[in-house]
Structure 1
Amino acid sequence: MNMAMKRLLGVVGGLALVFSVSGASAAPKDPRVLVEEVTTELFTVVKAHPADSEAYYTGVDKVLDKVVDFRYIAAVVMGRDAWGKATAEQKTRFAEVFKNGLVRSYAKGIAGYANSAIKVVGVDQNAQNAKRAVVRQEVAHEGAVHQLSYTLRQVGEDWRLINVVLNGVNLGQSFSSQFTAALRKEGGDIDKVINNWLSEV
């Protein structure tokens, strides 16, 4: 992973984990409300545990697991062709490897952003698909203001994060390009790409 992507993950790691909804609710909450509730939950984890402890990673993982649609993102990253050719076992393995890598990367980035000034500047519902929404944020950190937008899809009564765009850089597309390049490098061998994914990104 190049330095620009590492910096990108650092920022997103502290900020992308802000969407969740309780399955017990009668109806999905407004995404703006979810941002406020889960941001509080996330930074409670940040302040409760040493950043290099397993308890810390476990806490971050629990927040992420309620928020991110890992299997959906894994399918998008692999691409329609590779996902279609992959076995059920390969799909499951890649989703797990992808999740583990992101959880660790995000967890390492969270601590430095706990005191950033974060505000929601807009929530856009998809006019053609009521189960899609984009939440836009501004994040003030160390004198810079970052523009973020989060794409969510509604799954049952939950909103799940499926993509992040930071200052114009689309993370989903970036990971997809990396998978395509790795697959080409490995001569189309999906198992090798999965086995080497963490070193490739």
Structure 2
Amino acid sequence: MDGRLIYLMGPSGSGKDSLIEAAREPLRAGNCEVVRRVITRSAESVGEDAIEVSREEFDRRRAKGDFALSWQANGLSYGIPARIDQWLADGRDVLINGSRAHLAEAQQRYPTLLPVLLTVKDEALRERLLRRGRESPAEIEARLHRNALFTADDSIGDTQIRRLDNSGDLAGTVANLLKLLNLSAKPDQT
């Protein structure tokens, strides 16, 4: 029996990295591997358990076929190691930190993937982005505008995107993720 690919996406600042880290052990206990992305820049991966490589190394790995999925966004290259195919074939679920812009391509390769969109209310996102201190107030407002566009669609083709709100308590979001994936019977805590 094949495992399922869980394709987590969300705007910058939505808390994907925090959610992945907080859910890592319960996911593993539920037969779900959490994948470390390969990224070409360290600043973007602050807080993310990623493998940082140079652009040349990334291109070499991509040419060699080391990635099941790869894409570029915001001047960076991202890759998902090809070993996910073996995990899926072995019946293990696999959670990846994906890109909304790359979802259609990922869905072509993995037609049964489960798209999960991590959402966050504008007030919470603004606060997180200000706390992070990487962007100017104008850049934050532009990101908030993109967040509204980012969360507009409920489906891609025939596949419904599952939404997971991360505006509140992280423990509640973890419980809701596990519930969504049928890995836990914990009640909705958001």
Report the TM-score, using the length of structure 2 for normalisation: 0.25
Report the TM-score, using the length of structure 1 for normalisation: 0.24
